[in-house]
Chain A
Amino acid sequence: MLHYDTTINHMVEYESPQLDVVFQALSDGTRRRMLRSLSVQPRSVGELAAPFRISLAAASKHIKVLERAGLVQRRIQGRTHLCQLRAGALAEAERWLQYYQQFWSERLDALETVLRAGPAEPPRGKTR
């Protein structure tokens, strides 16, 4: 696999297949509310489904997406499936945000310098 330099850029690019899955999982409102609820405490599939008036099967599908993204871990306790938040995967998204926050801030600094130094208008070819 290609990898780039040692900047965060490298990391963001390298880990992007996982990021795709995380962003995909986060793109749905029901799943985001499930995560929020899990950030308080671990919950059963039934508890996660309850606020949405959706079937256990539908809830389970959402949870599977979250599991694939590594955002949620499911433990089986007797007959209950207990879901738990895994904050580590969210850190990936967090790093994406931090990387681009810094990226654009730096670029806009550079743009400011260029605008200050440069001519008011780019030279036109029609002067004679």
Chain B
Amino acid sequence: MNAVAPIEVRVTRYFEASPERVFDAWLVPRVLGQWMFGPRVRDENVVRLDVDPRVGGSFSLKVERKGELIDHVGQYLEIERPYRLAFTWAIKGPSNDAPSVVQLDIGASGSGCVLTLVHRMDAKWSDYADRTRDGWTTMLDALADLFD
């Protein structure tokens, strides 16, 4: 644990494929719909996958699961084909999932490549978290006042 990344998920995987192919699988909507979302992966339908693959560009991955629309949204922070891809990740909706950051590092290895994925809640996004937290804090403050 350090101050910047208190909470993170880390997954490492070897693929028998070139770094370029693995990298592109994250940015090409047609390919994303084959593994990240869709009926092949789980009980859901892809509604629309929008990807604007440039630094600062956004993505919106909309799926429908049992009648509910789920929109996974984020913004690309780093795009260095084929070695590094970083983007923010959140689920759009009234609950306003706090933004998190996903970082991929891809390195050639043998006849394939190794991908390391780190998904973390980033303190850098705390401004945004502050806003989503406001409602909750206000409510708790009001509750605390009652007992003062």
Contact = CB atoms under 8 A, between A and B. Distances in A.
Contacts of A108: 11, 13, 115, 117
B96 to A, nearest CB: 7
A110 B129 contact: no
Interface stretch (A23-31, A41-49, A50-58, A76-84): A23-31
B103 to A, nearest CB: 12
B126 A21 contact: no
Contacts of B93: 2, 13
B72 to A, nearest CB: 10
B136 interface: yes
A32 B5 CA distance: 12
Main DSSP-derived SS at the B contact region: mixed
A93 B65 contact: no
B78 to A, nearest CB: 18
A13 B21 CA distance: 31
A17 B9 contact: no
Nearest to A17: B136
Given A21-B133, A110-B40, A115-B15, A27 B6 contact: yes
Interface in B104-148: 115, 117, 119, 121, 123, 126, 129-130, 132-133, 135-137, 140
A113 interface: yes
Contacts of A4: 65-66, 68, 70
A2 B15 contact: no
B25 A104 contact: no
Contacts of B22: 111, 115
The 10 lowest CB-CB distance pairs between A and B, nearest first, are: A110-B35, A27-B123, A115-B17, A111-B35, A100-B9, A20-B98, A17-B136, A23-B121, A26-B6, A114-B35
30 contacts: A4-B65, A5-B68, A13-B91, A16-B95, A16-B96, A16-B97, A17-B132, A20-B98, A20-B132, A23-B129, A24-B126, A24-B129, A24-B130, A26-B7, A27-B121, A29-B3, A68-B137, A96-B121, A100-B119, A104-B119, A105-B11, A107-B36, A108-B13, A110-B34, A110-B35, A111-B22, A111-B36, A115-B16, A122-B30, A122-B31
